[in-house]
């Protein structure tokens, strides 16, 4: 077993364990904290896949913004009654069964594909992926239209979020 | 040697855990957390395919950047909706938000 495999297994087990805690923890604040651990694990996965840019934006966007926003929302919508009673609905066993079936089906489907055991290719010599990504996102021959649409979407979401959560003074 | 199968199985497991959270949890914010897990699994898959299949093309990473932007927009609007619903109905349990249900 190589070092890379060792790191992958440790991080993978921690990440999946934390993900299970996210969906089972009764206290939502605890679930949000487990979510942060899961996101850190996924950030390490991006590092293993030699995409350091994604490691950084995972920490900045997901952990720095989204997870903190979740914690804010949990605190703003708390009530005593919520703590009592089950945190899952009556059909939870069906949901678990469906997830298991989907996982088995996915793994079976992957294992019948001949690219499944592709080993890690070496990155081409002197390839600066961050520079190429930055150029591709703003070049007309690259992905400038999806990039601009994404920025319009973010602006629309910003205005929409303010409009929806606005408290009208009557 | 680490192979593509590691990342695919990891992402599939993460996606299925997220799916369980979306289907089984009562609290709407917990459902949103499940969606975040699923989106993360998708991005892991995109980056893994980029790294193992086409490291000389950048399409996989560009796609992943767009997924990040969409995830941020989705969370912002989702949480704003839940706060608005909480203000009017004093609950965010998904089975009690049934105004549109016959």
**Is the Cβ pair A49, B80 closer than 8 Å?**
no
Question: Cα distance from A147 to chain B (closest Cα, Å)?
Answer: 7
Largest interatomic CA distance in chain B: 56
CA dist., res. B60 & res. B69, Å (int): 15
Number of DSSP helices (H) and strands (E) in chain B, helices first: 3, 0
A55 falls within a domain: yes
CA dist., res. A31 & res. A10, Å (int): 21
A157 falls within a domain: yes
Same domain, A64 and A133: no
A120 falls within a domain: no
Question: Cα distance from B100 to chain A (closest Cα, Å)?
Answer: 18
Query: Is the model's pLDDT at B1 over the cut of 90?
Result: no
Q: What is the pLDDT of residue A150?
A: 93
**Is the Cβ pair A119, B1 closer than 8 Å?**
yes
Query: Is the model's pLDDT at A40 over the cut of 60?
Result: yes
Give ∠ CA A143-A149-A151 in degrees, rounded to 5: 100
Q: What is the pLDDT of residue B18?
A: 95
Q: Which of A28-32, A117-121, B55-59 has the lowest mean pLDDT?
A: A117-121
Q: Quick one: average pLDDT of A158-166?
A: 89
A98 falls within a domain: no
Contacts of B64 (CB under 8 A, 6+ apart): A54, B43, B46, B47, B50
CA-based nearest residue in chain A for residue B23 = A95
| Average of per-residue pLDDT values in chain A | 88
Q: Which of B40, B50, B87 sits opposite A39 (nearest CB)?
A: B40
CA dist., res. A156 & res. A162, Å (int): 10
Same domain, A134 and A61: no
Q: Quick one: average pLDDT of B35-58?
A: 91
- Helix crossing, A3-24 with A28-48: angle to 10°? 160
Residue that terminates a domain, selected from A56, A79, A102: A79
Q: What is the pLDDT of residue A81?
A: 53
A33-37, A133-137, B89-93 — which one is most confidently predicted on average? A33-37
**At CB < 8 A and 24+ separation, what contacts does A139-146 make?**
A142/B58, A142/B62, A143/B59, A143/B62, A143/B66, A146/B62, A146/B66
Q: Which of A8, A39, A87 sits opposite B25 (nearest CB)?
A: A87
A113 falls within a domain: no
Q: What is the pLDDT of residue A124?
A: 74
Query: Is the model's pLDDT at A156 over the cut of 60?
Result: yes
Q: Which of A39-48, A76-85, A126-135, B55-64 has the lowest mean pLDDT?
A: A76-85
CA-based nearest residue in chain B for residue A129 = B58
SS (H, E, C) A16-33: HHHHHHHHHCCCHHHHHH
At A91, the pLDDT band (50, 70, 90 cuts) reads confident
Tell me the CATH number at A62: 1.20.120.1200
Each residue's pLDDT tens digit, A4-31: 899 999 999 999 999 999 999 888 899 9
Q: Quick one: average pLDDT of A138-149?
A: 90
Q: What is the pLDDT of residue B68?
A: 92
Quick one: which of A10, A55, A64 has its CA closest to A35?
A64
| Average of per-residue pLDDT values in chain B | 89
Number of domains in chain A: 2
CA-based nearest residue in chain B for residue A86 = B26
A99 falls within a domain: no
A94 falls within a domain: no
For domain B4-89, the CATH class is mainly alpha
Instruction: Report yes or no for ipTM above 0.95.
Output: no
CA-based nearest residue in chain A for residue B3 = A119
Q: Which of A15, A77, A164 sits opposite B77 (nearest CB)?
A: A164
Q: What is the pLDDT of residue A79?
A: 67
Q: What is the pLDDT of residue A104?
A: 95
- List the domain range (segments joined by +) for residue A132: 127-170
Contact of A37 with chain B, judged by CB distance below 8 Å, is answered with no
Q: What is the pLDDT of residue A1?
A: 72
**Is the Cβ pair A132, B37 closer than 8 Å?**
no
Query: Is the model's pLDDT at A168 over the cut of 90?
Result: no
Quick one: which of A152, A73, A71 has its CA closest to B80?
A73
């Amino acid at each position: 077993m190589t070092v890379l495999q060792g790191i992958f297994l440790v991080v993978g087990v921690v990440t999946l364990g934390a993900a299970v805690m996210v969906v089972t923890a009764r206290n939502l604040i605890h679930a949000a904290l487990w979510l942060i651990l899961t996101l850190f694990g996924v950030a390490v996965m991006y590092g293993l896949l030699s995409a350091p840019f994604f490691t950084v934006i995972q920490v900045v966007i997901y952990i720095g913004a989204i997870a903190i926003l979740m914690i804010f929302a949990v605190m703003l919508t708390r009530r005593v009654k919520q703590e009592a009673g089950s945190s899952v609905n009556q059909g939870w066993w069906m949901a678990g069964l469906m997830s298991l079936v989907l996982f088995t089906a996915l793994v079976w489907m992957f294992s019948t594909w001949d690219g499944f055991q592709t080993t890690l290719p070496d990155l081409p010599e002197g390839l600066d992926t961050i520079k190429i990504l930055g150029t591709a996102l703003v070049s007309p021959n690259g992905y400038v239209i999806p990039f601009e649409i994404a920025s319009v979407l973010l602006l629309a979401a910003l205005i929409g979020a303010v409009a929806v959560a606005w408290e009208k003074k009557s | 040697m680490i192979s593509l199968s590691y990342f695919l199985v990891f992402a599939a497991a993460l996606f299925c855990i997220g799916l369980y959270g979306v289907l089984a949890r009562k609290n709407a914010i917990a459902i949103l957390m499940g969606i975040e897990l699923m989106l993360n699994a998708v991005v892991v898959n995109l980056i893994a395919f980029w790294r193992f299949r086409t490291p000389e093309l950048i399409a996989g990473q560009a796609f992943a950047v767009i997924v990040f932007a969409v995830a941020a927009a989705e969370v912002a609007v989702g949480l704003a909706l839940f706060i608005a619903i909480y203000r009017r109905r004093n609950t965010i349990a998904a089975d009690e938000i049934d105004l549109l249900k016959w």
